[in-house]
């Protein structure tokens, strides 16, 4: 049986390089310890993908937003990951690090070639192909 997960690409299109919010995983994380990760996680029982994404965003950063844009879903070995995105002004000083070691804003193009947890550099590349905006 497949589990459901949601991942969020949260971009600040007001800043140069359209930075994306990423989380540094802790050294004792069960998968990809110390790696960079996009915001997201597994669904709770009965939770739809968008609610999962919004909940994970709040738990990991303290950010609340009303809605997200749906990008696509991809099948992984043991789960289906729903990819969402949003553009907003991001002030790192107002963000809490609810999970992981630290939160960063990294230029989106740098993430395309950066080694990230799971296959999130591929997720970023796919996002850039599918969503039209100027960096």
> Is residue 135 domain-resident?
no
Range of the domain at 82: 3-130
- Rounded to two decimals, the pTM is 0.92
> Is residue 122 domain-resident?
yes
The predicted-structure confidence for 68-102, as pLDDT tens digits, reads as follows 999 999 987 788 999 999 999 999 888 999 888 99
Q: State the Cα–Cα distance between residues 60 and 93, nearest whole angstrom.
A: 14
> Is residue 95 domain-resident?
yes
> Is residue 52 domain-resident?
yes
> Is residue 28 domain-resident?
yes
Give the total number of structural domains in the chain: 1
> Is residue 63 domain-resident?
yes
Give the sign of the dihedral formed by CA 114, CA 119, CA 122, CA 128. Answer: negative
Domain CATH number, residue 13: 3.90.79.10
> Is residue 81 domain-resident?
yes
The predicted-structure confidence for 36-75, as pLDDT tens digits, reads as follows 999 999 999 999 999 999 999 999 999 999 889 999 999 8
């Amino acid at each position: 049986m497949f589990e459901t997960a949601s991942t969020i690409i949260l971009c600040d299109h007001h800043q140069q390089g359209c930075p994306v919010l990423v989380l540094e995983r802790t050294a004792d994380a069960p998968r990809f310890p110390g790696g960079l990760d996009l915001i997201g996680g597994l669904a709770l029982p009965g939770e739809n993908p968008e609610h999962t994404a919004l909940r994970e965003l709040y738990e990991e950063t303290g950010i609340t937003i009303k809605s997200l844009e749906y990008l696509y879903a991809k099948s992984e070995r043991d789960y289906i990951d729903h990819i969402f995105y949003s553009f907003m002004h991001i002030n790192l000083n107002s963000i809490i690090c609810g999970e992981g070691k630290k939160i960063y804003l990294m230029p989106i193009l740098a993430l395309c070639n950066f080694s990230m947890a799971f296959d999130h550099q591929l997720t970023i590349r796919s996002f850039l192909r599918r969503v039209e905006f100027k960096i």
